[in-house]
Structure 1
Amino acid sequence: MSGPRPTKILSVKDQIAEQLRSDIISGDLAPNTKLNEKELADRFGLSRGPIRDVILQLTKEGLLISKNNVGASVNCVLDTSMQKLMVSLRRNIEVYAIEQLHDSLTQKDFAELEKILDELQGAFEREDFTEVTKVDISFHRYLIFKAGGDELVNIWYPFVMRMRLNYKRITSGDACVNEHKAIIEALRSDDASKAIKALKANIR
Protein backbone atom coordinates (compact mmCIF):
# COMPACT_ATOMS: atom_id res chain seq x y z
CA MET A 1 0.00 0.00 0.00
CA SER A 2 3.03 2.27 -0.24
CA GLY A 3 3.61 4.89 -2.90
CA PRO A 4 2.47 8.48 -3.31
CA ARG A 5 -1.16 9.41 -2.97
CA PRO A 6 -2.73 10.62 -6.20
CA THR A 7 -2.33 14.36 -6.63
CA LYS A 8 -5.62 16.21 -6.55
CA ILE A 9 -6.12 18.59 -9.45
CA LEU A 10 -6.97 21.95 -7.89
CA SER A 11 -8.58 24.86 -9.67
CA VAL A 12 -6.67 28.15 -9.71
CA LYS A 13 -8.98 29.52 -6.99
CA ASP A 14 -8.43 26.42 -4.86
CA GLN A 15 -4.66 26.76 -5.29
CA ILE A 16 -4.78 30.39 -4.16
CA ALA A 17 -7.01 29.51 -1.19
CA GLU A 18 -4.57 26.75 -0.23
CA GLN A 19 -1.60 29.14 -0.46
CA LEU A 20 -3.34 31.75 1.71
CA ARG A 21 -4.31 29.08 4.24
CA SER A 22 -0.63 28.12 4.43
CA ASP A 23 0.38 31.77 4.82
CA ILE A 24 -2.09 32.21 7.70
CA ILE A 25 -1.25 28.91 9.45
CA SER A 26 2.49 29.59 9.20
CA GLY A 27 2.11 33.14 10.52
CA ASP A 28 3.38 34.77 7.31
CA LEU A 29 0.00 36.53 7.32
CA ALA A 30 -0.34 37.53 10.98
CA PRO A 31 -3.66 37.98 12.83
CA ASN A 32 -5.40 41.27 12.00
CA THR A 33 -3.38 41.71 8.76
CA LYS A 34 -5.57 43.50 6.22
CA LEU A 35 -5.79 41.85 2.81
CA ASN A 36 -5.53 44.06 -0.24
CA GLU A 37 -7.47 42.66 -3.21
CA LYS A 38 -5.32 44.49 -5.77
CA GLU A 39 -2.06 43.29 -4.20
CA LEU A 40 -3.34 39.72 -4.11
CA ALA A 41 -4.54 39.96 -7.71
CA ASP A 42 -1.09 41.20 -8.74
CA ARG A 43 0.66 38.50 -6.69
CA PHE A 44 -1.30 35.68 -8.32
CA GLY A 45 -1.67 37.28 -11.76
CA LEU A 46 -5.47 37.30 -11.70
CA SER A 47 -8.33 39.74 -11.81
CA ARG A 48 -9.93 40.79 -8.55
CA GLY A 49 -13.06 38.65 -9.12
CA PRO A 50 -11.45 35.27 -8.29
CA ILE A 51 -9.61 36.90 -5.37
CA ARG A 52 -12.96 38.06 -3.93
CA ASP A 53 -14.25 34.48 -4.25
CA VAL A 54 -11.22 33.15 -2.34
CA ILE A 55 -11.63 35.80 0.37
CA LEU A 56 -15.30 34.81 0.74
CA GLN A 57 -14.32 31.14 1.02
CA LEU A 58 -11.69 31.79 3.70
CA THR A 59 -14.15 34.02 5.57
CA LYS A 60 -16.63 31.13 5.69
CA GLU A 61 -13.83 28.93 7.02
CA GLY A 62 -13.15 31.37 9.87
CA LEU A 63 -9.62 32.30 8.81
CA LEU A 64 -10.60 35.77 7.59
CA ILE A 65 -13.10 38.30 8.83
CA SER A 66 -14.83 40.71 6.45
CA LYS A 67 -16.46 43.98 7.42
CA ASN A 68 -18.52 46.28 5.24
CA ASN A 69 -16.50 49.17 3.78
CA VAL A 70 -13.36 47.93 5.55
CA GLY A 71 -12.47 44.79 3.60
CA ALA A 72 -11.07 41.50 4.82
CA SER A 73 -8.36 40.82 7.35
CA VAL A 74 -6.86 37.75 9.02
CA ASN A 75 -9.01 36.80 11.99
CA CYS A 76 -7.76 37.67 15.45
CA VAL A 77 -6.36 35.21 17.98
CA LEU A 78 -8.99 33.76 20.33
CA ASP A 79 -8.76 34.49 24.04
CA THR A 80 -8.27 31.53 26.37
CA SER A 81 -11.95 31.00 27.21
CA MET A 82 -13.01 31.16 23.56
CA GLN A 83 -10.22 28.75 22.60
CA LYS A 84 -11.50 26.30 25.22
CA LEU A 85 -15.00 26.65 23.78
CA MET A 86 -13.69 25.94 20.26
CA VAL A 87 -11.84 22.85 21.51
CA SER A 88 -15.01 21.62 23.23
CA LEU A 89 -17.21 22.19 20.16
CA ARG A 90 -14.72 20.53 17.82
CA ARG A 91 -14.32 17.60 20.19
CA ASN A 92 -18.11 17.12 20.43
CA ILE A 93 -18.41 17.02 16.63
CA GLU A 94 -15.61 14.48 16.30
CA VAL A 95 -17.01 12.28 19.09
CA TYR A 96 -20.34 12.34 17.25
CA ALA A 97 -18.52 11.32 14.05
CA ILE A 98 -16.81 8.36 15.72
CA GLU A 99 -20.18 7.19 17.08
CA GLN A 100 -21.55 7.23 13.50
CA LEU A 101 -18.62 5.22 12.11
CA HIS A 102 -19.60 2.00 13.87
CA ASP A 103 -17.98 -0.83 11.87
CA SER A 104 -18.27 1.13 8.60
CA LEU A 105 -14.60 1.76 7.74
CA THR A 106 -13.15 -0.57 5.10
CA GLN A 107 -9.60 -1.83 4.65
CA LYS A 108 -9.25 0.80 1.93
CA ASP A 109 -10.19 3.50 4.45
CA PHE A 110 -7.63 2.23 6.95
CA ALA A 111 -4.97 2.12 4.21
CA GLU A 112 -5.78 5.74 3.34
CA LEU A 113 -5.57 6.80 6.99
CA GLU A 114 -2.20 5.04 7.31
CA LYS A 115 -0.95 6.95 4.24
CA ILE A 116 -2.00 10.21 5.86
CA LEU A 117 0.00 9.24 8.96
CA ASP A 118 3.03 8.51 6.77
CA GLU A 119 2.68 12.04 5.35
CA LEU A 120 2.38 13.41 8.89
CA GLN A 121 5.58 11.62 9.94
CA GLY A 122 7.37 12.93 6.84
CA ALA A 123 6.25 16.51 7.50
CA PHE A 124 7.60 16.29 11.07
CA GLU A 125 10.90 14.89 9.82
CA ARG A 126 11.21 17.84 7.37
CA GLU A 127 10.21 20.19 10.22
CA ASP A 128 7.52 21.60 7.91
CA PHE A 129 5.04 22.53 10.63
CA THR A 130 2.62 24.23 8.27
CA GLU A 131 2.33 20.94 6.41
CA VAL A 132 2.08 19.08 9.75
CA THR A 133 -0.97 21.19 10.57
CA LYS A 134 -2.59 20.66 7.17
CA VAL A 135 -1.99 16.89 7.14
CA ASP A 136 -3.26 16.63 10.73
CA ILE A 137 -6.47 18.39 9.67
CA SER A 138 -6.80 16.08 6.64
CA PHE A 139 -6.71 13.01 8.92
CA HIS A 140 -9.62 14.29 11.00
CA ARG A 141 -11.46 15.55 7.95
CA TYR A 142 -11.31 12.05 6.41
CA LEU A 143 -13.11 10.60 9.43
CA ILE A 144 -15.62 13.46 9.59
CA PHE A 145 -16.47 13.00 5.91
CA LYS A 146 -16.88 9.23 6.29
CA ALA A 147 -19.24 9.82 9.21
CA GLY A 148 -21.43 12.58 7.80
CA GLY A 149 -20.30 13.69 4.35
CA ASP A 150 -19.95 17.31 3.29
CA GLU A 151 -22.74 18.42 5.63
CA LEU A 152 -20.81 17.40 8.75
CA VAL A 153 -17.48 18.63 7.30
CA ASN A 154 -19.02 22.07 6.69
CA ILE A 155 -20.15 22.29 10.33
CA TRP A 156 -16.77 21.11 11.69
CA TYR A 157 -14.27 22.85 9.41
CA PRO A 158 -14.59 26.45 10.68
CA PHE A 159 -13.94 25.30 14.26
CA VAL A 160 -10.74 23.45 13.41
CA MET A 161 -9.43 26.26 11.19
CA ARG A 162 -10.22 28.94 13.76
CA MET A 163 -8.37 26.95 16.44
CA ARG A 164 -5.28 26.86 14.23
CA LEU A 165 -4.85 30.63 14.44
CA ASN A 166 -3.49 30.27 17.97
CA TYR A 167 -2.58 26.62 18.15
CA LYS A 168 0.21 26.41 20.70
CA ARG A 169 0.31 22.74 21.76
CA ILE A 170 3.81 21.58 20.95
CA THR A 171 3.96 17.86 20.35
CA SER A 172 6.88 15.76 19.18
CA GLY A 173 6.48 14.00 15.86
CA ASP A 174 6.37 10.57 17.46
CA ALA A 175 3.81 11.63 20.06
CA CYS A 176 1.54 13.25 17.47
CA VAL A 177 1.71 10.29 15.08
CA ASN A 178 1.14 7.85 17.95
CA GLU A 179 -1.95 9.79 19.08
CA HIS A 180 -3.43 9.33 15.61
CA LYS A 181 -2.35 5.68 15.45
CA ALA A 182 -4.27 5.05 18.68
CA ILE A 183 -7.42 6.43 17.04
CA ILE A 184 -6.94 4.17 14.00
CA GLU A 185 -6.31 1.04 16.08
CA ALA A 186 -9.41 1.64 18.21
CA LEU A 187 -11.52 2.15 15.08
CA ARG A 188 -10.00 -0.96 13.52
CA SER A 189 -11.15 -3.00 16.49
CA ASP A 190 -14.54 -1.19 16.41
CA ASP A 191 -14.07 0.01 19.99
CA ALA A 192 -15.90 3.35 19.98
CA SER A 193 -15.21 4.19 23.62
CA LYS A 194 -11.48 3.58 23.15
CA ALA A 195 -11.49 5.62 19.93
CA ILE A 196 -13.24 8.50 21.71
CA LYS A 197 -10.70 8.38 24.55
CA ALA A 198 -7.83 8.47 22.01
CA LEU A 199 -9.51 11.33 20.16
CA LYS A 200 -9.92 13.40 23.32
CA ALA A 201 -6.22 12.84 24.12
CA ASN A 202 -5.39 14.26 20.67
CA ILE A 203 -7.76 17.27 20.70
CA ARG A 204 -6.86 19.49 23.63
Structure 2
Amino acid sequence: MNKPAPIVAELGRPETPEETAARKAESSTAYRSSQNVRSLVAALIVTLAVVAIIVFAVPRGEPASAPKVDIAGIAADVESTMKRPVILPDTGTFWRVNAAELTSGSTVVWDVTLAPKGDEERGYIKIAQAFDAESSWAPQRLNGTAPTDTTTIGGVEWDVYRVGDAGAKQNITYAIGTQAGSDYVLLYGSRSADSTAELAESLIPQIHALSEAS
Protein backbone atom coordinates (compact mmCIF):
# COMPACT_ATOMS: atom_id res chain seq x y z
CA MET A 1 0.00 0.00 0.00
CA ASN A 2 1.37 3.37 -1.03
CA LYS A 3 2.48 5.65 1.76
CA PRO A 4 0.60 8.97 1.67
CA ALA A 5 2.65 11.94 0.57
CA PRO A 6 3.85 14.08 3.48
CA ILE A 7 2.17 17.38 4.12
CA VAL A 8 4.42 20.38 3.36
CA ALA A 9 4.19 22.94 6.15
CA GLU A 10 4.38 25.93 3.80
CA LEU A 11 1.54 24.56 1.71
CA GLY A 12 -0.58 22.91 4.43
CA ARG A 13 -1.03 19.96 2.10
CA PRO A 14 0.99 17.33 0.24
CA GLU A 15 3.05 18.55 -2.74
CA THR A 16 1.76 17.83 -6.18
CA PRO A 17 4.17 15.96 -8.50
CA GLU A 18 4.70 19.22 -10.41
CA GLU A 19 5.62 21.10 -7.21
CA THR A 20 8.00 18.34 -6.15
CA ALA A 21 9.74 18.42 -9.52
CA ALA A 22 10.01 22.22 -9.39
CA ARG A 23 11.44 22.15 -5.84
CA LYS A 24 14.04 19.56 -6.77
CA ALA A 25 14.99 21.51 -9.89
CA GLU A 26 15.41 24.70 -7.88
CA SER A 27 17.51 22.88 -5.30
CA SER A 28 19.68 21.39 -8.04
CA THR A 29 20.17 24.82 -9.65
CA ALA A 30 21.16 26.36 -6.31
CA TYR A 31 23.63 23.53 -5.69
CA ARG A 32 25.26 23.92 -9.11
CA SER A 33 25.47 27.69 -8.59
CA SER A 34 27.22 27.26 -5.25
CA GLN A 35 29.62 24.80 -6.85
CA ASN A 36 30.41 27.30 -9.62
CA VAL A 37 31.15 30.01 -7.06
CA ARG A 38 33.41 27.65 -5.13
CA SER A 39 35.22 26.75 -8.36
CA LEU A 40 35.73 30.40 -9.26
CA VAL A 41 37.06 31.20 -5.78
CA ALA A 42 39.39 28.21 -5.92
CA ALA A 43 40.66 29.23 -9.38
CA LEU A 44 41.23 32.79 -8.17
CA ILE A 45 43.21 31.56 -5.17
CA VAL A 46 45.36 29.34 -7.41
CA THR A 47 45.97 32.25 -9.83
CA LEU A 48 47.00 34.57 -7.02
CA ALA A 49 49.31 31.91 -5.65
CA VAL A 50 50.99 31.50 -9.04
CA VAL A 51 51.42 35.26 -9.40
CA ALA A 52 52.92 35.48 -5.91
CA ILE A 53 55.38 32.72 -6.73
CA ILE A 54 56.44 34.48 -9.93
CA VAL A 55 56.80 37.85 -8.18
CA PHE A 56 58.89 36.54 -5.31
CA ALA A 57 60.80 33.88 -7.21
CA VAL A 58 62.09 36.04 -10.09
CA PRO A 59 65.53 37.41 -9.14
CA ARG A 60 65.69 41.15 -8.59
CA GLY A 61 68.60 43.29 -9.68
CA GLU A 62 69.68 46.49 -11.33
CA PRO A 63 68.47 47.11 -14.89
CA ALA A 64 71.02 46.12 -17.49
CA SER A 65 73.17 49.10 -18.36
CA ALA A 66 73.54 50.22 -21.94
CA PRO A 67 76.56 48.69 -23.69
CA LYS A 68 79.66 50.85 -23.44
CA VAL A 69 80.64 52.63 -26.65
CA ASP A 70 84.26 51.97 -27.65
CA ILE A 71 84.84 55.52 -28.83
CA ALA A 72 88.61 55.11 -29.01
CA GLY A 73 88.30 52.08 -31.29
CA ILE A 74 85.65 53.73 -33.47
CA ALA A 75 87.71 56.93 -33.69
CA ALA A 76 90.77 54.96 -34.79
CA ASP A 77 88.77 53.36 -37.60
CA VAL A 78 87.42 56.75 -38.69
CA GLU A 79 90.90 58.29 -38.68
CA SER A 80 92.11 55.40 -40.84
CA THR A 81 89.21 55.91 -43.25
CA MET A 82 89.43 59.71 -43.42
CA LYS A 83 93.25 59.88 -43.28
CA ARG A 84 93.14 62.64 -40.66
CA PRO A 85 92.69 63.05 -36.88
CA VAL A 86 89.26 63.30 -35.30
CA ILE A 87 88.04 64.90 -32.09
CA LEU A 88 88.21 62.45 -29.18
CA PRO A 89 86.68 63.99 -26.03
CA ASP A 90 87.98 63.15 -22.57
CA THR A 91 84.81 61.97 -20.83
CA GLY A 92 86.35 62.00 -17.36
CA THR A 93 83.96 61.34 -14.49
CA PHE A 94 81.15 63.56 -15.79
CA TRP A 95 80.39 62.44 -19.35
CA ARG A 96 79.46 59.16 -20.94
CA VAL A 97 79.47 58.43 -24.67
CA ASN A 98 76.00 57.51 -25.95
CA ALA A 99 76.99 57.27 -29.61
CA ALA A 100 79.99 57.68 -31.90
CA GLU A 101 79.75 57.26 -35.64
CA LEU A 102 80.76 58.55 -39.05
CA THR A 103 77.76 60.11 -40.79
CA SER A 104 77.84 60.17 -44.57
CA GLY A 105 76.13 62.64 -46.87
CA SER A 106 77.04 65.71 -48.89
CA THR A 107 79.32 66.48 -45.94
CA VAL A 108 80.93 63.62 -44.02
CA VAL A 109 80.69 64.17 -40.27
CA TRP A 110 82.28 62.54 -37.22
CA ASP A 111 79.46 62.57 -34.66
CA VAL A 112 79.89 61.97 -30.92
CA THR A 113 76.97 62.25 -28.50
CA LEU A 114 77.75 62.90 -24.83
CA ALA A 115 75.41 62.85 -21.84
CA PRO A 116 76.06 63.29 -18.11
CA LYS A 117 76.63 60.12 -16.12
CA GLY A 118 74.80 61.30 -12.99
CA ASP A 119 71.04 60.92 -12.66
CA GLU A 120 70.79 64.44 -11.24
CA GLU A 121 72.11 65.95 -14.50
CA ARG A 122 70.09 66.27 -17.68
CA GLY A 123 70.69 67.12 -21.32
CA TYR A 124 73.28 66.20 -23.92
CA ILE A 125 75.93 67.73 -26.15
CA LYS A 126 76.81 66.44 -29.59
CA ILE A 127 80.25 67.05 -31.06
CA ALA A 128 80.09 67.21 -34.86
CA GLN A 129 83.34 67.43 -36.82
CA ALA A 130 82.34 68.24 -40.38
CA PHE A 131 85.15 67.34 -42.77
CA ASP A 132 86.15 69.93 -45.37
CA ALA A 133 83.39 72.29 -44.23
CA GLU A 134 82.96 75.84 -43.00
CA SER A 135 80.48 77.65 -40.76
CA SER A 136 77.92 77.68 -43.59
CA TRP A 137 77.46 73.94 -42.95
CA ALA A 138 76.30 74.36 -39.33
CA PRO A 139 72.72 75.57 -40.03
CA GLN A 140 72.03 72.15 -41.58
CA ARG A 141 72.24 70.71 -38.06
CA LEU A 142 70.51 73.65 -36.39
CA ASN A 143 67.31 73.96 -38.44
CA GLY A 144 68.65 76.88 -40.42
CA THR A 145 69.91 78.89 -37.44
CA ALA A 146 72.80 81.20 -38.29
CA PRO A 147 75.38 82.43 -35.76
CA THR A 148 74.29 85.47 -33.79
CA ASP A 149 77.50 86.26 -31.93
CA THR A 150 81.02 85.05 -31.17
CA THR A 151 82.76 84.07 -27.96
CA THR A 152 86.36 83.26 -27.08
CA ILE A 153 87.05 80.00 -25.28
CA GLY A 154 90.60 78.90 -24.54
CA GLY A 155 91.97 81.53 -26.89
CA VAL A 156 89.86 80.23 -29.80
CA GLU A 157 87.01 82.21 -31.32
CA TRP A 158 83.72 80.32 -31.52
CA ASP A 159 80.53 81.18 -33.38
CA VAL A 160 77.50 81.30 -31.08
CA TYR A 161 74.13 79.89 -32.21
CA ARG A 162 71.09 80.63 -30.09
CA VAL A 163 68.73 78.08 -31.55
CA GLY A 164 65.57 78.90 -29.58
CA ASP A 165 62.29 77.56 -30.97
CA ALA A 166 63.96 76.36 -34.17
CA GLY A 167 65.55 73.45 -32.32
CA ALA A 168 62.62 72.55 -30.09
CA LYS A 169 61.82 69.28 -31.89
CA GLN A 170 65.42 68.07 -31.62
CA ASN A 171 65.79 69.44 -28.07
CA ILE A 172 68.59 71.76 -29.21
CA THR A 173 68.87 74.98 -27.24
CA TYR A 174 72.44 76.17 -27.71
CA ALA A 175 75.39 75.65 -30.01
CA ILE A 176 78.90 76.93 -30.65
CA GLY A 177 81.24 76.17 -33.53
CA THR A 178 84.73 76.95 -34.73
CA GLN A 179 86.93 76.36 -37.75
CA ALA A 180 89.65 73.77 -37.10
CA GLY A 181 91.84 73.71 -40.17
CA SER A 182 89.77 72.40 -43.06
CA ASP A 183 87.06 71.08 -40.72
CA TYR A 184 84.28 72.81 -38.82
CA VAL A 185 83.67 71.64 -35.26
CA LEU A 186 80.17 72.18 -33.88
CA LEU A 187 79.03 71.57 -30.31
CA TYR A 188 75.26 71.59 -29.89
CA GLY A 189 72.56 70.20 -27.64
CA SER A 190 70.46 70.96 -24.59
CA ARG A 191 73.12 71.75 -22.00
CA SER A 192 73.77 75.27 -20.76
CA ALA A 193 76.18 77.72 -22.37
CA ASP A 194 78.58 77.27 -19.43
CA SER A 195 78.52 73.47 -19.70
CA THR A 196 79.05 73.67 -23.46
CA ALA A 197 81.94 76.13 -23.01
CA GLU A 198 83.55 73.84 -20.43
CA LEU A 199 83.48 70.94 -22.88
CA ALA A 200 84.78 73.19 -25.66
CA GLU A 201 87.72 74.28 -23.52
CA SER A 202 88.72 70.66 -22.96
CA LEU A 203 88.92 70.24 -26.76
CA ILE A 204 91.20 73.25 -27.41
CA PRO A 205 94.44 71.21 -27.74
CA GLN A 206 92.75 69.01 -30.36
CA ILE A 207 91.33 72.06 -32.15
CA HIS A 208 94.88 73.42 -32.42
CA ALA A 209 96.15 70.03 -33.61
CA LEU A 210 93.52 69.94 -36.36
CA SER A 211 94.45 73.45 -37.45
CA GLU A 212 98.14 72.58 -37.60
CA ALA A 213 97.49 69.33 -39.48
CA SER A 214 95.68 71.07 -42.34
Bigger RCO of structures 1 and 2 (CA < 8 A, at least 6 apart): 1
TM-score range, shorter chain: under 0.3
Larger Rg: 2
TM-score by length of 2: 0.20
TM-score (norm 1): 0.21
- Normalized per residue, the structure richer in strand is 2
Normalized per residue, the structure richer in helix is: 1
